[in-house]
Structure 1
């Protein structure tokens, strides 16, 4: 049956629930604007959960003279560490030198520039290492003699998106997942949008009247640009990046940066304690945006490169899981996909009601992008409130203080240890995971729990109904996959029976709330 159409008004409609869309919604809501955000699937269900999970300046971009992008990203690296110290953590990288590729002097010079392009308060400077004496050499091929160590940061990318969405909601924004913008027109100096959600036989329609629109549709941004008929015809190139996950290939907690003879850079990262994450590729993509997946050729490419550096050899049969995402990059005329700029492009069209189209960008620079979007629109709203998102913690970030600071970052390990001690009736690994994922909000989830029984049934290994209920009530989760792959990464440890059990529980949860 069809539900009647509802009509809502707002200052700003944001289309797209990835990192850029939720970042824009958070920024605007914090400035007092009324905000509506729509996402056709789950938050972070596409490119924003398919990154290399890094908050970094982009060392390889120096090779393409992208000094401005690298500096901007390095500044953001420090800011994000401070506003989400539970979720974003320093990570040491080892870059082996390989004869015949980039010379040692060039790598050392690049790292020197990387260290000094922006102020660095929290992370260590780069240095040379010899694998015969440095523990990072264990597990590497013996022909590799020396390299470099530097520090960037790691993030659970999908959770970063969700935390921005949660904060936007708590500041007054209205966010809708699994509802698609199917029409977008200017009427009497306002945007009128039609949002449609289909669930089984029911169709929900929401008509939104907005003073301005931000198109943050990611890989679908070009389609939304056409839907708006705003006169802008930006030429985009879709570039796919793929990653694979295998059983842990080496001991220790370092990440590795490997050079490929074709000029590409590939990361090998410690992942969920038991795995190694390897990626990414850079390939032009012209297929179905809803069916993006790693190819056999990409799997072989990443496995072969890993085998050139690690003693433990892998092949396609060792792949435990994989994922792929697509970035919409503005065509800069470069023939090489890996050389196209990753900096974002914002296009304001203000013939009548304004719309900002967002193209490209990196997860590291999302917060700065959101500020720049508002700067483009501020005159239209007569809103001159100062920038604020670098000064306010994301939910759960108050590990030792209630404001972004160096202390919060440095207190992270002590905070996790305190949680393990406080909730010693729960599996240690579970509490460590929860403390890192939720920060101080772990205490909200476990409030009143004095024993493991209070957490409810364990539907998936190390996942209890107390946490599941929190994710559904507070973090927009509506399916088992939302929980297993985006709110947590427990899908890696989940059997088919576990998945079915969780699916049934979530379905019954919504059935009971609907009938209540």
Structure 2
């Protein structure tokens, strides 16, 4: 019977061929000083940090890396200007510092994002704001945030960027200038405020880069390994029973410290370890991706970030040739799959009309939907939008066995600082000291990444060949950063050909992914190793071609290939609103 992974996808547990190398490395030496459970960005970041300190660390993830909330984010690296009204000044300051830092150490994936707020009043919300700040509740009908409040917030926001800031300060525009810049905006706009944050177009690949940094430093990690149970040992360690979700085989693994970074599933993971907790109270956030040239053009390359009529802060922004629209914030039912509902889609279409009234949007222009559960703390009567986005670390002894550190909360932008904090707590448990800081350490393919468009073009020209044109070479740089040099070396070492269904992938590149990127399922390539699904580019022919190319390196027979195609169709339809009809192979 299949098991659900951290985002609700059902993993087939049919027997596979040879055991994966990532699992074999854990089975051959079934112990480590630290075992991290959960392969989202915070778990993976902590794994990297500890490995760089020389700690013997292992990580397991029951689904694929970055498959849960980390892969369902709004793709923003931001200071969180709206958290100011919650009084979370420490978090905003840390977020702005980390945003600036990621622009420097992960420039291959983290890019500056020009952001514009349309404003429809001057002083609205001035009286309601202090009450929201003090009570963290919305009293009565939402009061729109006017220009005065937004100006105040952006001025404070700018002040946090003074040390090491790398983005321009905010600017206000009057109605006339605002409509000259963005002519499709609602004609009732009074002002716009424009500032810079950052975006991450490939959060899944950034997570993979962080993971591989940790592996190169000596850490061991495997996806598709779930935690079945944990028992304490007399020597102060604990032994976990781990289950390979692809073969259904189990083995034991012993550690001195266990770190629970399973996000919204922290309480369920602690329950599996025999010590139930009630730390979490996650909220669901959904998004849609549109193929809509008119909306894309209206955004003029910038994110539109604004307050909808219900007081919820929402966003519209271009990602390549697609437009991302989000997000909702409703209490999550952990017994149900997190999927984007018809009601949420109606909400998104309505919010687009709130800002761009002359742009028609319909369901047929949606190419992808996604939803995740934010790993927020339990919040009881506090409304979802006011729940803290900050994090804390809960410690307990595992019945005389290993200490268990549970991460409650955490957001994408602060993952490096959070990982440093969590790693320091682990080092204290081990009686060890920090050897290296990650604050200035480039992440993966961000090392030596060209710092200008001219530099990027020169890199592309240098790595082109007669068989690999500029577009294909640029695509490799986008996907891997400067790690593309390693990929290119692999591609050039044997015969290769582009797929018939897309010029973005070749047979040999898929073999590289199979050998170096821990692919467990066909759908991992479509959603997390590439952006093909996100952009609505998955076809029946593509499913067949990718499955066939992966069959030999991953040991899939004809029945396995058919099962993987069926599994990919099911995941895309059920969780992402995408229906793909396969072809007869």
Q: Answer yes or no: same fold by TM over 0.5.
A: yes
Alpha-carbon shift at residue 399 of structure 1 (Å): 2.5
Question: Aligned partners of 1:176 and 1:170: how far apart in 2?
Answer: 14
Deviations 1:446-497 (A, max 9, x none): 238689x964232541211232222222222233221121111012222122
TM-aligned CA distance change 1:414 to 1:191, over 3 Å: farther
* Cα distance per residue 1:98-119 (max 9 Å; x no partner): 2362111111110000111242
Change in 2 beyond 3 A, CA 1:182/1:75: same
User: Aligned to 2:107, what secondary structure does the other structure show?
Assistant: coil
Distance, in Å, in 1 between the alignment partners of 2:427 and 2:442 is 23
Mapped contact 1:346–1:356 kept (Cα < 8 A):
yes
- Give the secondary structure class of the aligned counterpart of 1:75: helix
Residues 456/130 of structure 1: CA separation in 2 closer, same or farther (3 Å cut): farther
Matched, 1:122 2:166: yes
Stretches of structure 1 that go unaligned for 5 or more consecutive residues are 401-407
Aligned residue for 1:485, secondary structure, equals helix
Match of 2:453 in 1: 413
Alpha-carbon distance in 2 for matches of 1:470, 1:127: 46
Match of 1:500 among 514, 520, 544: 544
- Structure 1 residues 416 and 334, CA, compared in 2 at 3 Å: closer, same or farther? farther
Give the TM-score taking structure 1 as reference length: 0.91
Match of 2:426 in 1: 377
Cα offset, 1:355, TM superposition: 1.0
What CA distance in whole angstroms lies between the structure 2 residues aligned with 1:184 and 1:471?
32
Deviations 1:411-458 (A, max 9, x none): 14334212332327545444333213311111221238689x964232
CA contact (8 A) 1:237 1:329 kept: yes
String of CA shifts for 1:397-421, please: whole Å, max 9, x gaps.
Answer: 1235xxxxxxx6xx14334212332
C-alpha contact (below 8 Å) 2:281/2:379 kept by paired residues: no
1:209 equivalent to 2:251? Answer no
Q: Report the secondary structure of 1:250's partner residue.
A: helix
How far apart, CA to CA, are the structure 1 residues paired with 2:447 and 2:282? 38
1:108 and 1:229 mapped to 2: Cα distance? 50
> Are 1:86 and 1:412, in contact at CA under 8 Å, matched by a contact in 2?
no
User: Residues 378 and 242 (structure 1 numbering): CA distance in 2 closer, same or farther, change over 3 Å?
Assistant: same
Output the TM-score relative to the length of structure 2.
0.80
The number of aligned residues is 498
Quote the Cα distance in structure 2 between the aligned partners of 1:429 and 1:90. 23
- Alignment counterpart, residue 270 of structure 2, candidates 198, 203, 225: 225
Counterpart residue number, 1:302: 348
- Unaligned segments of structure 2, at least 5 residues: 1-14, 125-143, 558-585
Equivalent position of 2:318 in the other structure = 270
Greater strand share, structure number: 1
In the TM superposition, what is the alpha-carbon distance from 1:507 to its structure 2 partner? 2.2
The one-character-per-residue Cα deviations of 1:303-348 (angstroms, maximum 9, x if unpaired) are 1001111231213333211000002311244431111001112101
Residues 128-143 of structure 1 mapped to structure 2, 5 A cutoff: 128-130=172-174, 132-133=176-177, 136-143=181-188
Deviation, 1:129, is 2.3
1:323 aligns with 2:373: no
Deviation per CA, 1:360-391: give whole Å up to 9, x if none. 11011111111111222222212112451112
SS of the residue aligned with 2:283? strand
User: Which residue is equivalent to 2:128?
Assistant: none
Distance 2:500 2:80 in 1: 40
In structure 1, the residue matched to 2:403 is: 354
Q: Which position in structure 1 is the counterpart of 2:473?
A: 431
Post-superposition CA distance 1:225-269 (Å, at most 9, x none) = 112234x62342120000001123132311110211211111111
CA distance in 1 between counterparts of 2:70 and 2:409 reads 12
Q: Let me know the Cα RMSD of the aligned residues.
A: 2.5
- 1:245-256 equivalent positions in 2, closer than 5 A: 245-248=289-292, 249-251=295-297, 252-256=300-304
Check whether the contact 2:290–2:324 (CA below 8 A) recurs between aligned residues: yes
Report the counterpart of residue 160 of structure 1 in structure 2: 206
Specify the SS of the correspondent of 1:312: coil
Matches within 5 A, 1:283-294: 283-288=330-335, 291-294=337-340
**Aligned equivalents of 2:455 and 2:431: distance in 1?**
42
SS of the residue 1:320 aligns to:
strand
